[in-house]
Structure formats: structure tokens, C-alpha cells
Amino acid sequence: MFLNPPKYDLQNRVRVVQLPLSGCPVFRPDRLESGSINIPGNAVPLFQRCGKGAIMKDLTELQDCLRERRPVPWEQLPDFALYMDQVLSYMERQVLRFDGDDGLTAAMVNNYTKSGLAPRAEGKKYSREHLAYFTVICVLKRVMSTRDMDLLIREELQGDRTAEDGYAAFCASLDKALNITAGELEERTGGSLADDAIHFALLSYAAGVASSHCVAMLRNQKEPEPKGKPKKDKEHD
């Protein structure tokens, strides 16, 4: 399922970037090559001129994308070792990229493994478990700090339960979140785009508050704050 980005008037020579591997082509004005294009200050996206029909189509396709695109479950991850280039190629299809980010790179993989956020490679090869880690990291890095990710990953994938069970719980939560968002988007179809943007921003804000609070409580359980130095008893003469 592909999400069609807003089309821009060719007379204004504005470029639309399409990322087929992500599953969702995206307009990225911040990624235009310097000197390759002229963008006039009064350039106006066509979707602002052509009425609600094109907007409805774009939003409907976004809903479909939110409902249908998912990381593969554990049992469908490759059960054989992969080299770095194979990992990066696989993760292009595995990771959900709705806004055209750069995806996973070799430098990122090395950084995650060296920092302990993901297990180290086994003789330059990566297993199904590594793919599960990278999938979780690529999603969570968009919404939380590396420090918080490290705490949660250790709890979910390295705690009492197996990496398979932790990955299954992650996929179930992601599926629910995407479906809820798709449902909210469907209910608001036909309204103001500005109102919709604020609505979803506030949902993200509220969810972020709840997530931060849960992380803080978990950290207090795992890493209790050191108590102040005990006061020395006064020596009696």
C-alpha cells in the first residue's frame, strides 16, 4: 500500500521525493538537493488548490497504510544468519517508515551493538534476534531517548521473558496503536487539516506524558536513587 504525497505544480519546479522501499512515498522539502531546483517563495501545494477530493484520497490511503503495514512476526523473521548488507536490505522492508526518514544504516547498527542496546554480531553475522532488536529500536528511537530505550529493551527483550515473547508484545502494542490512530483519522476525515494535526499532536503529547511517567517509575524500581549519606553520630565527650 502506497501513500500518495501531495502533488506540487510542475510550473513551480518543486520536487516530490518518492521512497518505494518504505511503502509510503513522502514529500520532503527539507531533503531537496542544493542547487538542483528553484522553489519560489509563493509555491503552493496543489492539494491546497484542488479541493477536498485529493485530500480525502490521501487521508484514505494513509488510513490503509496505518492498518495494513506491520513488521513481520517472530516466526517469519529469517531463521538463518545474515551479513550486514543483508540486514540493511531486510530492514528496509521490515521497518515502518511513514515520513521518509533515512532508515537503518551500518553505522547505526554498529553503534547500537557497541553501546549494548542490541547484542553484538556473531562473527559479523546477525540472527533473527538481532532483527527483532533493530525493529524495536527503529520505532522507539522516534519517540524516546536512547537512555529510556535501553531501560525498556533490557526489560522487554533481556529480562525474564525471551526475546521472542518481548518482540511479540511489542508487535501487539504497535498493531493496537496504529489501528487506534487509523480509526481516529477515519472519524475526523472531512474536517480541517489544521484541527486534525493539532488533535494528533495532542494525542502524541498525552501518550508521551504517560510513557515518560511509566519509564520514570520503572527506573526507580530498577535504579533506586542513592540515599543521602548517613549522618555521623556525634561523639560524646
pLDDT, tens only, 113-138: 999 999 999 989 999 999 999 999 99
CA pair distance 201, 196, nearest whole angstrom: 8
Q: What is the mean pLDDT of residues 163-172?
A: 93
Higher-confidence residue of 96 and 205: namely 205
Question: In which band, very low, low, confident or very high, does the pLDDT at 38 lie, cut at 50, 70 and 90?
Answer: very low
Residue in the block written with cell 529510556:
148
**Residue 4 clears pLDDT 50, i.e. is over it:** no
Instruction: Answer whether 124's CB lies under 8 Å from 98's CB.
Output: no
Q: What is the mean pLDDT of residues 52-62?
A: 79
Q: For the chain, give every domain's residue range.
A: 10-51, 74-222
Q: What is the mean pLDDT of residues 23-47?
A: 39
pLDDT value for 225:
60
Question: In which band, very low, low, confident or very high, does the pLDDT at 99 lie, cut at 50, 70 and 90?
Answer: low
Q: Name the percent of the chain lying above pLDDT 90.
A: 47
Burial class (CB in 10 A: 0-12, 13-18, 19+), 136: buried
Question: In which band, very low, low, confident or very high, does the pLDDT at 28 lie, cut at 50, 70 and 90?
Answer: very low
Q: What is the mean pLDDT of residues 14-21?
A: 38
pLDDT digits (tens, 9 = 90+) for 186-221: 888 777 889 999 999 999 999 999 999 999 999 998
**Residue 87 clears pLDDT 60, i.e. is over it:** yes
How far is CA 64 from each of CA 57, 135, 178, 237, rounded to the nearest angstrom?
A: 11, 21, 10, 81
Instruction: Answer whether 154's CB lies under 8 Å from 219's CB.
Output: no
Question: In which band, very low, low, confident or very high, does the pLDDT at 108 lie, cut at 50, 70 and 90?
Answer: very high
**Residue 231 clears pLDDT 80, i.e. is over it:** no
pLDDT value for 54:
76
CA pair distance 181, 194, nearest whole angstrom: 17
Q: With CA atoms as reference, report the closest residue to 132 among 175, 98, 163.
A: 163
How far is CA 105 from each of CA 27, 88, 108, rounded to the nearest angstrom?
A: 21, 7, 5
Picking from 51-60, 182-191, 200-209, 224-233, which range would have the lowest pLDDT averaged per residue?
224-233
Q: Describe the chain by its helix, strand, coil percentages, rounded to 5.
A: 55, 0, 45
pTM (two decimals): 0.69
